[in-house]
């Protein structure tokens, strides 16, 4: 038995995987969008399962209050404001250096999602907001890519495999996003780490299952199932879904999120007292020059991937692609003004 087979021998011994399935995992190309609580755990599980290529996409950095539930990261990552994509790639390479890792520090938008999903076999959702989920759904239906949706708040979560033209899509499940106040968030409702691990592992299992069963299962016969968990009460339910007749996405092939009709240039981050500011594509910020300019004006933290500037009650975090997070306000107009003052128009 070679080193690869020896490493995965117990997984290979599981008949639904076997040698052929393990080979398919090694050849699989998976994108994990969002590397927070769910996504970082998903990326680790898939690496340990032997997935050969992982594209790791996240716009954010590691913070201290991430550590109770985002088990891939360390205190060092939080203290040095490591970007999640780069930190995840570093830790995953230590787990299995044969896995090809492609970390991308960027926000997923209608302008770049097609490029981000090029050459990918399946997408796994680690995001925490509905706009990006609808965007992923639009892109995957348009491109014919399967994706695994997942979400969790408190100790309640859900997950499902979505295969365009074969299962219900995300807009069949939720035609419109619920109001933010109705949906709740991890900041307002809380979330517990063990529950995150269950949902992320379930998503990883769905992705693994899809990869190894491509060889012998007709996708039209795969059930369209949403699994819903209330883990505090120990309740697990399976809900059979059907494609909605005249669904604007999977039936009518209308993709408003992919076309940018619902994108925003300043997005309020629910429960974080912060606004994310976007700039036109093609804009680049020279982080060293920006840090040098700001040092005499307030507290500055500089890394190869971001500059964090704090003054009075406001913190501005700027990335090389021009995107910024403005902490200390939930007013988009104020956030834009702060950005223009310290970074430029």
H helix runs in 96-227, sequence order: 113-116, 130-143, 170-173, 180-183, 186-189, 193-213
200-58-80-335 Cα dihedral, nearest 10 degrees: -120
User: Rounded to the nearest 5°, which phi and psi values hold at 309?
Assistant: -120, 125
SS3 percent helix, strand, coil of the chain, rounded to 5, is: 35, 25, 40
List strand residue ranges (DSSP E) for the chain, in order. Answer: 29-33, 53-58, 100-105, 122-125, 147-153, 156-162, 225-230, 235-240, 266-269, 274-277, 299-302, 306-311, 314-319, 324-327
Query: Of 49, 186, 247, 249, which one is the catalytic site residue?
Result: 186
The pairing of strands 306-311 and 225-230 is unpaired
| Residues 91, 72: Cα–Cα separation, whole Å | 7
Per DSSP, the three-state class of 217 is coil
Catalytic status, residue 186 = yes
Partners of 191 in the beta sheet?
Answer: 154
Partners of 315 in the beta sheet?
Answer: 310, 327
User: Rounded to the nearest 5°, which phi and psi values hold at 305?
Assistant: -120, -10
CB count within 10 Å of CB 297 equals 11
Q: What is the DSSP letter of 61?
A: B
| Residues 330, 269: Cα–Cα separation, whole Å | 8
Per DSSP, the three-state class of 124 is strand
Residues designated catalytic: 186
């Amino acid at each position: 038995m070679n080193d690869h087979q020896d490493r995965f021998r117990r997984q290979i011994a599981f008949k639904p995987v076997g040698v052929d399935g393990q080979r398919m995992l090694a050849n699989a190309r998976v994108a994990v969008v969002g590397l927070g609580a769910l996504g970082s755990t998903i990326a680790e599980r898939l690496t340990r399962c032997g997935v050969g290529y992982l594209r790791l996409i996240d716009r954010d950095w590691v913070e201290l209050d991430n550590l109770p539930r985002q088990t891939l990261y360390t205190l060092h990552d939080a203290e040095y404001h490591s970007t999640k994509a780069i930190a995840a790639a570093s830790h995953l390479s230590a787990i299995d250096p044969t896995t090809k890792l492609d970390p991308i520090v960027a926000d997923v938008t209608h302008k770049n999602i097609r490029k981000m999903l090029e050459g990918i076999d399946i997408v796994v959702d680690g995001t925490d907001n509905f706009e990006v989920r609808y965007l992923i759904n639009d892109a995957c239906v348009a491109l014919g890519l399967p994706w695994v949706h997942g979400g969790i708040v408190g100790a309640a979560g859900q997950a499902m495999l979505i295969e365009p033209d074969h299962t219900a899509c995300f807009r069949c499940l939720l035609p419109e996003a619920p109001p933010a106040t109705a949906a709740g968030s991890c900041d307002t409702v809380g979330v517990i780490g063990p529950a995150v691990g269950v949902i992320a592992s379930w998503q990883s299992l769905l992705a693994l299952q899809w990869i190894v069963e491509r060889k012998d299962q007709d996708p039209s016969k795969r059930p369209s199932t949403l699994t819903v968990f209330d883990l505090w009460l120990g309740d697990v339910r399976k809900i059979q879904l059907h494609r909605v007749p005249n669904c604007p996405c999977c039936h009518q092939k209308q993709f408003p999120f992919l076309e940018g009709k619902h994108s925003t240039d300043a997005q309020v981050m629910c429960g974080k007292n912060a606004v994310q500011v976007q700039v036109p594509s093609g804009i680049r910020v020279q982080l060293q020059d920006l840090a040098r300019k700001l040092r005499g004006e307030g507290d500055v933290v500089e890394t190869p991937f971001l500059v964090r500037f704090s003054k009075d009650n406001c913190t501005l975090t700027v990335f090389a692609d021009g995107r910024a997070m403005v902490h200390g306000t939930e007013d988009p107009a104020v956030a834009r003004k702060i950005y223009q003052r310290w970074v430029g128009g």
